[in-house]
Amino acid sequence: MPVTVLIIDDAVHIRRLVARMLEQAGFITLEAPDGLQGLRLLKEKKPDVVTCDISMPLMDGHEFLAAAKEDPQTRDIPIIVVTALGQEEEAARATAMGASAYLTKPFSSSHLIDTIYSQVKKHPQESYG
């Protein structure tokens, strides 16, 4: 069964690039331009894993992470936070808040795919909700 990944990033070009990389590798992708829409899709679709940018308008990555981890229906879905180079403190904060992993931009498609697969193996979907 294909793995579904929710990609949350306000930069449309990055979101589309990540979606294309994942789709070419056989993943199903869902996209959201901000944490609010991402939270709605997370609750509706229950993806296998989420990638979430930290710096976004409306609801940033930290706010999204807090809301996702508060909800019993979504708290076990792994969330990989994405930070820009030099935002190591943001990544450490997100990890302390429950993020499963983090990636620093720019990252390779193989690093992204390996990180997603490692999270899916650690968090089998039958435990969600």
pLDDT for 10 beyond 60: yes
CB proximity list for 54: less than 8 A, separation 6 or greater: 60, 61, 62, 81, 82, 83, 84, 87, 90, 91, 94
| pTM across the whole model | 0.92
Q: Are strands 28-32 and 4-8 parallel, antiparallel or unpaired?
A: parallel
Domains of the chain, each with CATH number or no CATH: 4-123 (3.40.50.2300)
Q: Whole-number mean pLDDT of the chain?
A: 91
Across residues 11-29, what is the average pLDDT? Answer: 96
d(CA 6, CA 77) in angstroms, rounded, equals: 11
Across residues 78-88, what is the average pLDDT? Answer: 83
